Structure 1
Amino acid sequence: MKNWLNKYFMFFVASLALMSCEKDEDMAIVRAGSEPVLALTTNTVVLTEETAADEAVTFSWDKADFGYNAGVTYTIQFDVADDDFASAHNILVGGSNEKTFTVEELNALLTKLKYEADVAHNIDVRIKASVSDKVNATYSDVETITVTPYSTYIEPGYLYVPGGYQGWSPETAPALISVENNGIYKGIISFVGASGLTFKFTPNRNWDMDYGNGASAGSLAEKGSDLSVPTADTYEITVNTNTMTWSYKLHSWGLIGDATPGGWGADTNLKYDNAAGVWKATMDLTVGNIKFRYNDDWALNYGDDDTSNNILNQGGKDIPIATAGTYDIVFDNENEDGSVTYSVTKK
């Protein structure tokens, strides 16, 4: 009986060993991948705005081999020539073996990477092939391409707004701006404390040409009669010189509170400083509290939950004024980091 059990046990172990060998034979063998070979349709490209829709260059490569049937992911890497891809910019292309850039796409890439326009730049390119975080990626040989990008900067256009509120002087009038220089101008004009609410638009800082009222409401005509807004306040004004039309809407920030001249019942308007991009006022304040609010309404208002940092909070706490006096007020809602800040400085 014991002898039979020994034979059975030996047979069982042998069977396991055989099964293990068969399983090993089915396992994939991972070896170092063979590098993809990169080819370019050209190594020198001069990009121009006129040919933006044309094909600039095509990168193509053969498939990398990792020793088993795997889904390989390819990435095109760009870097400054001879930087050894220390600051590579990566463009993932998935399982494709080709990528064509149009002139516009390649120029946008170089603009994003802050390459100077109208200057030839040597750029190293290679292909990264990878299958898993657990398997070392493999890379093609480096190709160098010389690319001259073009500038996408558009000189903005300006339309000036002389009027009674500033002495009818085109030379010193604030301006509306057309960022794309496409004939559509926008800007913020304050008629706060104005002596007269009439104005015109001039394309230059002189009276050689001006636009006033046209034949119908909201239309413009060359040398037309004076334009106007209904009340002494601040407005966002839009002008379209392509269609010779204009419009305005209230765009006003004011100070309210029992420390202000109007108390909690009426805003004291701030004036928009076009050059600085901030709202300002100089006013007498008494001991009490203030807040900032938009378009004479509580729907959008700012207070300060932490007076140590001069950063405003939407719907925040009242801002205390401890000493009566004349104050310079500055309200800034155009900070690059998105914060809204203010200052209240006693003169």
Structure 2
Amino acid sequence: MKKITFVFLACIALFNFTSCSDDDGFTYTAKPDPEGIAFTNSTLETYNLTASNASNIAERLVWNAANFSVQTPVNYEVQGSSVESFESFSVIGVGTQTNQAVTVANMLALAREAGLDNDPTTAAPNNGTVYFRVRAYVGADAGNVVEQLSEVMAVSVTLPEEAEEGLDLPKIFVVGNFLASGGYGTDWTPADAVPLAAAAEGNTAYEGYVFINSETPEFKFLPANTSFDGDYGDTGADNGTFSGTLVQEGEVNAGTPDGTGGYYIVNVDTDALTYDLTKTSWGVIGNATPTGWDSDTDMVYDSATKTWSVTLDLTEQEAPDNGIKFRANDAWDINFGDTDADGTLDFNTNQNIGIPEDGNYTITLDLSNPRQYTYSISKN
């Protein structure tokens, strides 16, 4: 199994809370502990992380409680980012406890976002840094919320001799008028185009999930995310047409089947010159959920993290016969389980995902890496 090694460089981050007030004149006074509020665990070790143990805990971050001097629970949100500025970030977990498990899958996702690679044919580095911080807040998470962020904890990330499986799958890219509103970058910019992946070298059938967040979608498919050379478009007469067939000369901008935006699974075959899109919304279902196998519990998509998530109460269930599965559109046509219990998803498998004990959980579904779909289940 190919490996990624992560080395934690720094583990101490202090909260410096100050008194503040909201628009209603409602004042919180922060009173931290005498020694300050800090991560209390030491993480000066090397971790060998592989996709085969993606659901395992890589590290449990622990910090001192924040004191806002009010009789209300303090909420903590652990964030991970590939950039120190946290211009974009993933939410690892939210809860009132002063600790949070960080799984191997969480780490792998941040490594991919950091653009790490050890392919000698690319200019991407094989080592870099990812970052963690904790957000403490009181009040509703909108309007009158009062919050404070910890300092950033830097984590050194290194890919050794071989790249993580799936990072080097053959790819094509979707570029169009949805990149900005979908959270990908600048419209019609090849470098910001969304990847689709083939299953193996020599395979011309590509797939991936794309948030085409446009009222009038228009896009093309690129052989590389460096230019429009060799781009594929629709065979129709007008931009935004969906015919399901592609051409590289005299093409127009492609569109969606119903002409509307949404979160789509996109399939393209560059040999057959065909493409198709299926709009999806996602939920969890199973006898570990409040509604059992009768109906889904809907998940919510976050364009900043490129993930779907939901927080709900789950009951202890043992896989493979019990637990939960992910499915699209309240139907079984597109569903995922976990055959190997490794944190990576398998299409239309009969293996459910087990829940270790009763409790309130946050479930995250990450379909942003084509053909390398992952999930995390964190108890709050």
The TM tier, using the shorter chain, reads 0.3 to 0.5
Q: TM-score, normalised by structure 1?
A: 0.36
Q: Say which structure, 1 or 2, has more relative contact order (CA 8 Å, 6+ apart).
A: 2
